[in-house]
């Protein structure tokens, strides 16, 4: 592929992974990209690499611009394998290149590679290197996404190379936000930003706000943000910064989501009446059956909606395993600022609703109680109870939403 110049003498040399549909368990129906960047200056500098299976493509991209052995510096903003696993292939070709990374980056690289002969230079926030006409400033961003993560700011070009942050899993021939919006839509781009944030960065929302404030305090003017996935923000970098601030502040839509699974449709029938009850109160209600939906998609919908109801039949006195899988995934993402409740059908002892409430309370979420538990198939009277449960949840949600 041909490189794309994103700023004077700074080129995207990454790859588009059109076919990936499962990114370590995260479903990526639109593929992704592994972006990395080459700066042609007195000291040719590569920022990040790509996923190892794509080394050959990246090296050819670079060869369009210069001989690979001209690379003097390699900045590793993030060591996760989708960005750093091709580093070994690059170092085979330029073994004397200097590597710049965070202290945790160096530690992490030592677990993936034999670094004994590599010239690794540890950098921290505020450190700068001059590579000729351009100056690179490093900013540590631990846990956005891993402990090693950092960003690189090219001072003369007001360019923030932000690794995972501000990325999206989108394989697209558009390289820039304005190109993508022209070819597709802002809504599609926004969905991709939210989907990525919900599944990758939700646990770290509390870090995002202070980190953006820190960037402001450093007085950095940002005219372009170049993440390691998806499109590059050249027209509206402030749009994605504001979107991140909104998400970090817990912004969500005043809508209800029902996620459920079912064995013999009794719990499913309960969702019909509950959803109608929610609608009766004037709120939109989405319904997701878990075994029919990728977990990452269900999580994105959870993130979008201020309130979620979780439906599960009881199996052996406990919640149904697909529901538990969702809750386990959700727990790891440390959700906040959401109202939740539970319901389900049972045959004799029950137990699922109780178990789900215990888990939701342990997560520190706002719970709507009591849940509703029905024996076997809902009767007409039970349907009315479900309808009222949905109405009650929606009313509570409207109150709760006002606090944001
Ligand atoms: Fe795209 Fe945390 O790696």
Output the six-digit token pair for 156. Answer: 């003369």
Is the Cβ–Cβ distance between 288 and 301 less than 8 Å? yes
pLDDT at 354: 98
Residue 64 is a catalytic residue: no
Is 396 a residue whose pLDDT tops 90? yes
Which residues, including other chains, have CB under 8 Å from residue 121's CB and lie 6 or more apart?
A: 98, 99, 100, 101
What whole-number distance in Å separates Cα of residue 399 and Cα of residue 248? 21
Ligand 1 centroid to residue 201 C-alpha, Å: 10
For range 384-401, the mean pLDDT: 98
Confidence of residue 62 (pLDDT cuts 50, 70, 90): very high
Q: Whose CA is nearest to atom 1 of ligand 1?
A: 164
357 alpha-carbon distance from chain centroid: 26
Residue 1 in this model has a pLDDT that exceeds 90? no
177's enclosing H/E stretch is helix 177-183
**What are the E-state strand segments in 82-149?**
98-101, 119-122, 128-130, 135-140
Catalytic residue among 26, 34, 153, 196: 196
User: Which of the following is catalytic: 17, 41, 148, 164?
Assistant: 164
* 257: three-class secondary structure by DSSP: strand
Told to judge if 145 belongs to the known catalytic residues of this protein, a careful annotator would answer yes
Quick check: is 284 catalytic? no
- Residue 222, classified by CB atoms within 10 Å of its CB into exposed (0-12), middle (13-18) or buried (19+), is middle
Residues β-bridged to residue 138: 152
* Whole-number pLDDT of residue 25: 86
Question: Measured between alpha carbons, how far is 277 from 283 in angstroms, rounded to an integer?
Answer: 9
pTM of the full predicted structure? Answer: 0.93
pLDDT, tens digit, for every residue of 212-257? 999 888 899 999 999 999 999 999 999 999 999 999 988 999 999 9
For residue 115, CA distances in Å to 87, 166, 257 come to 11, 30, 48
Beta bridge partners of 155: none
Tell me if residue 196 is catalytic: yes
Q: Could you read off the pLDDT of 318-350 as tens digits, one per residue? A: 999 999 999 999 999 999 999 999 999 999 999
Q: Where are the beta strands (DSSP E) in 229-359?
A: 253-260, 285-289, 305-311, 314-315, 318-319, 339-346
- What's phi and psi for 126, nearest 5 deg? 100, -20
Query: 139-153, 197-211, 247-261, 292-306 — which is least confidently predicted?
Result: 197-211
Tell me the two tokens of residue 25. 């368990």
Q: Tally Cβ neighbours within 10 Å of residue 364.
A: 10
Q: Which atom of ligand 1 is nearest to the CA of 228?
A: 1
- Which residues contact ligand 1 via a Cβ below 6 A? 78, 80, 82-83, 145-146, 164, 228-229
3-state secondary structure (DSSP) of residue 59: helix
What is the mean predicted confidence (pLDDT) over 371-392? 97
What pLDDT score does 216 carry?
87
- CA 81 to ligand 1: nearest atom: 3
E-assigned strand segments in 70-114: 71-75, 98-101
Is residue 78 flagged as an active site residue? yes
């Amino acid at each position: 592929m041909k490189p794309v110049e994103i700023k004077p003498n700074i080129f995207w040399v990454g790859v588009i992974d059109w076919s990936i549909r499962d990114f370590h368990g995260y479903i990526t129906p639109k593929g992704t990209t592994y972006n990395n960047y080459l700066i042609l200056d007195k000291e040719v500098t590569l920022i990040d690499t790509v996923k190892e299976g794509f080394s050959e493509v990246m090296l050819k991209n670079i060869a369009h611009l210069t001989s690979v052995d001209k690379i003097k510096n390699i900045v590793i903003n993030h060591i996760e394998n989708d960005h750093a696993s091709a580093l070994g292939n690059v170092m085979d070709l330029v073994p004397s290149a200097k590597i710049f990374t965070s202290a945790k980056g160096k530690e992490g690289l030592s677990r993936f590679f034999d670094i004994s002969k590599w010239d690794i230079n540890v950098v921290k926030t505020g450190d700068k290197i001059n590579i000729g006409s351009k100056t690179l400033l490093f900013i540590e961003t631990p846990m956005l996404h891993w402990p090693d993560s950092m960003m690189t700011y090219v001072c003369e070009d007001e360019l923030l190379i932000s690794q995972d942050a501000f990325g999206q899993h989108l394989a697209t021939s558009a390289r820039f936000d304005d190109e993508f919006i022209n070819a597709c839509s802002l809504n599609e781009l926004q969905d991709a930003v939210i989907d990525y944030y919900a599944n990758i960065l939700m646990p770290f929302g509390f870090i995002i706000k202070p980190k953006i404030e820190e960037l402001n305090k450093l007085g950095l003017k940002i005219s372009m943000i170049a993440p390691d996935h998806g499109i590059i923000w050249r027209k509206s970098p402030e749009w994605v910064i504001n979107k991140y601030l909104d998400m970090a502040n817990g912004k969500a839509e005043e809508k209800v989501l029902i996620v459920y699974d079912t064995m013999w449709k009794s719990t499913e029938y309960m969702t019909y009446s509950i959803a109608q009850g929610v609608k009766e109160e004037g709120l939109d209600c989405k319904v997701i059956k878990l075994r029919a939906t990728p977990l990452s998609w269900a999580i994105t919908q959870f993130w979008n909606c201020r309130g979620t109801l979780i439906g599960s039949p009881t199996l052996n006195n406990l919640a149904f395993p697909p529901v538990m899988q969702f809750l386990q995934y959700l727990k790891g993402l440390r959700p906040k600022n959401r109202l939740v409740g539970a319901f389900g059908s049972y045959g004799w002892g029950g137990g699922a609703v109780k178990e789900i409430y215990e888990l939701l309370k342990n997560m520190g979420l706002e719970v709507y109680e009591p849940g509703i538990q029905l024996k076997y198939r809902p009767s007409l009277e039970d349907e009315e109870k479900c309808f009222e449960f949905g109405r009650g949840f929606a009313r509570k949600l409207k109150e709760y939403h006002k606090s944001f």
